[in-house]
């Protein structure tokens, strides 16, 4: 199908949304998903889109299930923030990608612990949190961001106490607690084959899998910059490396930010092409199960607070218009056209 035909179909059908998940499924993926954070739950216009399962077939809580929200102080567990998001997925018939069990950030457990103490802390955290969500999570990001960009281990409280064994232990505990969830290692800057971090990730995976860690998937976060993001070829090569070791791979937190605002029409064209490369890389990788964007609207993007002066990284702009973000081009949204042109799995290996 030509792009112009897709444009006409969209114009005639006039979908309120792009139906990303519908296209994704037709093209052979399991889902096209989005992160949802708690503050957006009261925004009805936002929630109408977030709950539309033809648009997003999977939800990831952006913060609700993190350590600070589920175990704010040691041994005291609470699930209000997490449940508020997971119930959206349940009510809307969407998959749930759960995020995240063991991460150095948003971690109230910051003091030094002995190896045994840390092992007990991790065990209790995973047993309680993954136990609470048992049976609900299609996937869990079990460990998040365990390596530095140069490939060395991040000196997190968990690593300092236990070394690499904290990773093996986390995966084993998660598998015992929720045997049906796909267990992922999740990280950023592992999309462009093959930098030091990718090489280190591969060697880490080999080590922990040999030690008995049931790692099912590798999540590539996919945060990148317009015009600087990895090419489809580079991403496919990275995924091919991971695919030798695990059952599945996924893009888990995609956003592509402009580093200079305001943006020009050419910047938007480039951003659209960059998004298409990500989706295309997933479509053309047999083990890539889906793409998740790290929220779909600039309104709730983490970018402006973290990178002042940068932004407009999401598919929809602040106003949630369907011509927002990469939709702004006045063309059919390229990610729609990617799925539309790929058609019923044609692009899948
Ligand atoms: O909830 C408090 C609120 O009570 C308080 O008034 C407010 C004042 O700052 O802070 C609120 O907490 C914020 C929280 O998001 C909830 O919105 C934190 O300050 C803020 O640091 C936190 O940022 C999150 C960040 O992870 C933490 O590192 C972002 O929303 C979230 O999008 C981001 O997500 C991460 C992924 O988990 C892992 N990969 C990178 C990605 C982007 O940083």
- Distance between CA 266 and CA 274 in Å, rounded? 12
Q: Is 105 in the pocket of ligand 1 (CB under 6 A)?
A: yes
Please tell me the predicted confidence (pLDDT) of residue 109: 66
Residue 63 alpha carbon to ligand 1 centre in Å: 7
Please tell me the predicted confidence (pLDDT) of residue 336: 54
Please tell me the predicted confidence (pLDDT) of residue 110: 61
The verdict on domain 3-346 having CATH code 3.20.20.80 is yes
- Distance between CA 235 and CA 224 in Å, rounded? 12
On whether the CB atoms of residues 255 and 301 are closer than 8 A, the answer is yes
- Distance between CA 206 and CA 215 in Å, rounded? 10
Please tell me the predicted confidence (pLDDT) of residue 275: 87
Q: Where are the beta strands (DSSP E) in 49-106?
A: 58-61, 95-103
Please tell me the predicted confidence (pLDDT) of residue 17: 60
Q: Where are the domains of the chain?
A: 3-346
Q: Is 302 in the pocket of ligand 1 (CB under 6 A)?
A: yes
Residue 206 alpha carbon to ligand 1 centre in Å: 32
Helix and strand totals (H; E) in the chain: 13, 9
Q: Is 72 in the pocket of ligand 1 (CB under 6 A)?
A: no
DSSP 311: B
- Distance between CA 123 and CA 306 in Å, rounded? 32
Q: Probe ligand 1: pick from 78, 188, 302, max atoms within 8 Å of CB?
A: 302
Mean pLDDT by 10 residues, the chain (349 residues): 33 53 86 97 96 95 97 95 98 98 81 90 97 98 98 96 97 98 98 97 98 98 96 97 98 96 87 86 94 94 97 86 38 45 38
Instruction: Using alpha carbons, list the distances in angstroms from residue 257 to 150, 296, 312, 313.
Output: 23, 12, 6, 4
On whether the CB atoms of residues 17 and 322 are closer than 8 A, the answer is yes
**Sign of the CA dihedral running 185, 103, 146, 193:** positive
Residue 62 alpha carbon to ligand 1 centre in Å: 8
Structure tokens at 205: 């995976």
């Amino acid at each position: 199908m030509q792009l112009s035909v897709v444009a006409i179909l969209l114009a005639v059908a006039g979908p309120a949304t792009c139906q990303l998940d519908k296209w994704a499924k037709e093209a052979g993926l399991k889902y096209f998903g989005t992160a949802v954070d708690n503050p957006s739950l009261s925004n009805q216009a936002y929630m109408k889109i977030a709950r539309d399962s033809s648009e997003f077939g999977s939800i990831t809580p952006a913060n609700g299930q993190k350590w600070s929200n589920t175990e704010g102080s040691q041994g005291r567990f609470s699930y209000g923030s997490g449940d508020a998001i997971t119930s959206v997925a349940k009510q809307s018939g969407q998959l749930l990608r759960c995020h995240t069990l063991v991460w150095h950030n948003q971690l109230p457990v910051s003091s030094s612990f002995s190896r045994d103490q840390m092992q007990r802390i991790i065990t209790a955290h995973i047993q309680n949190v993954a136990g609470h969500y048992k049976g609900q999570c299609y996937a869990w990001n079990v460990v998040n961001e365990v390596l530095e960009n140069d490939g060395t281990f991040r000196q997190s409280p968990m690593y300092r106490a236990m070394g690499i064994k904290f990773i093996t232990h986390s995966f084993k505990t998660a598998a015992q607690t929720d045997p049906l969830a796909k267990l992922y290692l999740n990280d950023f800057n592992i999309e462009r084959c093959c930098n030091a971090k990718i090489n280190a990730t591969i060697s880490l995976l080999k080590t922990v899998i040999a030690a008995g860690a049931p790692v099912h998937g590798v999540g590539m976060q996919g945060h990148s910059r317009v015009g600087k993001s990895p090419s489809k070829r580079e991403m496919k090569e990275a995924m091919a490396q991971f695919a030798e070791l695990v059952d599945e791979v996924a893009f888990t937190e995609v956003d592509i930010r402009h580093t200079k605002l305001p943006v020009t029409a050419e910047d938007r064209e480039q951003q659209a092409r960059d998004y298409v490369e990500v989706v295309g890389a997933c479509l053309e990788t047999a083990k890539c199960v889906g793409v998740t964007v790290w929220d779909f609207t600039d309104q709730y993007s983490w970018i402006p607070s973290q990178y002042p002066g940068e932004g407009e990284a999401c598919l929809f702009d602040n106003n949630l218009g369907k011509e927002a973000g990469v939709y702004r081009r006045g063309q059919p949204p390229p990610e729609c056209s990617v799925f539309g042109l790929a058609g019923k799995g044609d692009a899948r290996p």
